[in-house]
Structure 1
Amino acid sequence: MRGEMVAVLDFEDTGSGDEAVDLARRHLIQPWPTAGAIGAEARGLIGEGDGIYITDGKGRRLIDGPAGMWCINVGHRREELARAMYDQAMQLSYNTPWYTMNEPSAMLAQRLAAHAPGDLSHVFYTTGGSTAVETALRFMQFYNNARGQPEKKLILSRGGAYHGSTYLSASLNGRPRDRDWMDGADGLVVKLTAPNPFRRPAGMSVEAFCDFLVDEFRDAVRGIGAEKIGAFIAEPVQASGGVIVPPENYLKRVRELCRANDLLFISDEVVTAFGRLGHVFASGDVFGIEPDMITFAKGVTSGYFPLGGLMVSERLLEDLRRSNHPDAMFAHGLTYSSHPVGCAVALKNLDLLEGGILDHARKIAPYFQARLKTLEELPLVGEVRGMGLMACVECVADRESNDPLQLDRQVGSRIDAHCHELGLLVRPLINMCVMSPPLIITKDEIDDMVTILREGISRTMEDLRREGVWRG
Structure 2
Amino acid sequence: MAAQSKIKAGELIEPGDGDAVELAKRHLVQPWPYAGSVGNEARALIGEGDGIYITDGSGKRLIDGPAGMWCINVGHRREELAKVMYDQAMALSYNTPWYTMNAPSAELARRIADAAPGDLSHTFFTTGGSSAVETALRFMQFYNNVRGRPEKKLILSRGGAYHGSTYLSASLNGRPRDRDWMDGADELVVKLSSPDPFRRPKGMGVAAFTDFLVDQFRDTVARVGADRIGAFVGEPVQASGGVIVPPDGYLKRIREICRENDILYVSDEVVTGFGRLGHVFASGDMFGIEPDMITFAKGVTSGYFPLGGVIISERLLEELRRSNHPDALFGHGLTYTSHPIGCAVALKNLDLLEEGVLAHTREIAPYFQARLKTLEELPLVGEVRGMGMMACVECVADRESKDPLQLDKDVGKRIDAHCHELGLLVRPLINMCVMSPPLIISREQVDDMVAILREGISRTMDDLRKEGAWRG
TM-score, normalization by structure 1 = 0.96
Return the alpha-carbon distance in structure 1 between the equivalents of residues 295 and 80 of structure 2: 25
Query: Counterpart of 1:83?
Result: 83
Amino acid at match of 1:375: L
Query: Counterpart of 1:10?
Result: none
Query: Counterpart of 1:48?
Result: 48
Shift of 1:19: 1.0
Q: Which moved more, 1:402-411 or 1:230-239?
A: 402-411
Return the alpha-carbon distance in structure 2 between the equivalents of residues 323 and 99 of structure 1: 24
Is 1:470 aligned to residue 470 of structure 2?
yes
Return the alpha-carbon distance in structure 1 between the equivalents of residues 21 and 51 of structure 2: 25
Shift of 1:176: 3.2
Shift of 1:242: 0.2
Shift of 1:253: 0.2
Is 1:116 aligned to residue 98 of structure 2?
no
Unmatched segments (≥5 aa) in structure 1: 1-14
Would you say the 8 A contact 2:408–2:469 is kept in 1? no
Would you say the 8 A contact 2:396–2:402 is kept in 1? no
Amino acid at match of 1:463: D
Shift of 1:405: 3.7
Amino acid at match of 1:385: R
* Number of residue equivalences: 458
Query: Counterpart of 2:256?
Result: 256
Query: What's the % identity of the aligned pairs?
Result: 82
Shift of 1:16: 5.3
Query: Counterpart of 1:272?
Result: 272
Would you say the 8 A contact 2:361–2:388 is kept in 1? yes
Residues 35-434 of structure 1 aligned to structure 2 (within 5 Å) = 35-399=35-399, 401=401, 403-434=403-434
Q: Do the aligned partners of residues 300 and 382 (structure 1) sit closer, same or farther apart at CA in structure 2, a change above 3 Å counting?
A: same
Unmatched segments (≥5 aa) in structure 2: 1-14
SS at match of 1:182: coil
SS at match of 2:29: coil
Amino acid at match of 2:187: G
Return the alpha-carbon distance in structure 2 between the equivalents of residues 383 and 423 of structure 1: 23
SS at match of 2:130: helix
Shift of 1:435: 0.2
Query: Counterpart of 1:3?
Result: none
Would you say the 8 A contact 1:113–1:120 is kept in 2? yes
Return the alpha-carbon distance in structure 2 between the equivalents of residues 88 and 240 of structure 1: 33
Shift of 1:399: 4.4
Shift of 1:324: 1.0
1:369-422: CA deviation from partner (whole Å, max 9, x where unpaired):
000000000000000000000000001024465553442411100000000000
Return the alpha-carbon distance in structure 1 between the equivalents of residues 37 and 91 of structure 2: 43
1:43-97: CA deviation from partner (whole Å, max 9, x where unpaired):
0000000000000011000000000000000000000000000000000000000
| Cα RMSD after superposing both structures | 1.0
Amino acid at match of 1:28: L
Amino acid at match of 1:226: A
Shift of 1:322: 0.8
Return the alpha-carbon distance in structure 1 between the equivalents of residues 387 and 176 of structure 2: 25
SS at match of 1:178: coil
SS at match of 1:391: strand
Is 1:435 aligned to residue 422 of structure 2?
no
